[in-house]
A = this chain, B = another copy of it.
């Protein structure tokens, strides 16, 4: 194998992301230097944050450069090593981007053991999405047993973990998802107490029925009118972990209409990016790894086959077409 495929950002989206924004390229497998390793990626993770990186706007990270390999988390295997810390065959988690292979000096890579946790889970429940859920729940929402928490995009990689961790802590967990199939999964498979289908056109009444004692904490992934409806049902001293605003990633105004409730109910809200809190990762990954290994923390994956399928899979993710953690299988 002398060449490998990679996907670069061809152009920035005008509104919605389109396949034209990406370009598949073929590159020579490079010779590695001292201290480097060559990695063959098994899975690429597709995540909503990538949409924001495609914009050329001030945000928490530098924008993705035009012509550069799209940013992305990966799990893979060392296939050649001139770095004494890594051996051929080692499984590693890192940010190698939308590419079949990559060269690294090992910085920022995490070695994971073969065991009861499937390799792909390190991109989901035992990886960045799982840690995002863990951090938002334990550090911002801080729910007590008996409290009601609500999470949007509840069948997704992050939301599914939020609700299950909340159940572990004795909370009432209410999800919001699109369509009866996802909602049934959230309740029957993930064990949430209730799940509201926002596509059913009955949001206010369904939300009221699912949260008879109000809402004590929200994990927000979406934004828009659903978020406003949740804020309107918050109890005094409610906490909001603001993780994503996927409804606004194409440039739509992201408005909070219920600002008044922040005052009358003394609510708090904090936006966060889990990568900025590395001090919590060991503790969080420990809990998540144990729960996945024991089968208590369930997850579901949508797997696209082959790197060339990544752009369509990513566009589907932004529209909620995926069901569970969206991955691309590369080997």
- The reply on A88 being an interface residue by CB < 8 A is no
Q: Which of A161-169, A249-257, A285-293 contacts B (4 or more CB under 8 A)?
A: A249-257
B260 and A245 form a contact (CB under 8 A): yes
Q: A236-B60, A248-B260 are in contact. Are A270 and B271 (CB under 8 A)?
A: no
A123 to B55 CA separation, bound complex (whole angstroms): 51
The 8 Å CB contact of A269, one of B245, B255, B269, is: B269
Per-residue B-contact encoding for A266-286, CB less than 8 Å = 1, 0 else: 111111110010000000000
Copy tally for this chain in the complex stands at 2
Per-residue CB proximity of A31-64 to B under 8 Å, as 1/0? 0000000000000000000001000011110000
- Min Cβ gap A218→B in Å is 13
Contact A254 B260 (CB under 8 A): yes
Task: Establish whether residues A264 and B58, one from each chain, have CB atoms under 8 Å apart when the complex forms.
Answer: yes
Contacts of A264 in B (CB 8 A): 52, 57-60, 271
| A-B contacts, 9 listed (Cβ < 8 Å) | A60-B264, A60-B266, A242-B262, A242-B263, A244-B263, A254-B259, A256-B256, A268-B270, A269-B269
Tell me the A residues contacting B by CB distance below 8 Å: 52, 57-60, 223, 236, 242-245, 248, 253-257, 259-260, 262-273, 276
